[in-house]
Amino acid sequence: MRFYTHCQYCKAELTGRTDKKFCDVQCKSAYQYQQAKIQPERFYNKVDNQLKLNRKILKEFNKGGKVTLRADLLKEKGFNPNFFTHYWKNQKGEVYLFVYEYGFRKIEENHKNKYLLIQWQSYMEQPKSL
Whether the predicted pLDDT of 50 surpasses 60: yes
pLDDT of residue 36: 84
pTM exceeds cut of 0.85: no
Average pLDDT over residues 42-57: 93
Are 112 and 101 in contact by the 8 Å Cβ rule? The answer is: no
Confidence class for position 85, pLDDT limits 50, 70, 90: very high
pLDDT of residue 117: 96
